[in-house]
Structure 1
């Protein structure tokens, strides 16, 4: 079940369950590194303070677009490396 931790956190976020998303992101941060999830946790906390705020409604100034793209790319890379790590772990278990 832990292999789905990031997916579960992302799913909770998408469903608007920010309290649960924070808890799951904090677990992931503990396992994989706090710096990887600081932004996710911060966004959830902001959503709890301002429930009607949506990321897509953020100002689309030229300065903000690269940040939004970088966040999306970082999330994608995180998920890729997480899956790769799981594959390697399973391979080690199979060999052992």
Structure 2
């Protein structure tokens, strides 16, 4: 079964967590705000959930996996840092670092 020009809506809510989620740093909030202004989805509050509606219809074929961007940011320089632990002969951490524009 194929869904031609389907209107996609995603529902997001707060899941039960043992601990509080980490808060975004100031730079991350700025980038998240900029990305949100360029998103192909519209958001609305739905009781304790959020409803995201894709602005343009999408076609979904039978058993097809499809990736649709929730948000994007163009022209953001990013630096990837790998922390290597020579005593274990493995990569210990990977960081993506950027500055908000």
Using the size of structure 1 for normalisation, the TM-score is 0.27
Greater length-normalized contact order (CA 8 Å, ≥ 6 residues apart): 2
Larger radius of gyration: 2
By percentage of residues, which structure has more helix?
1
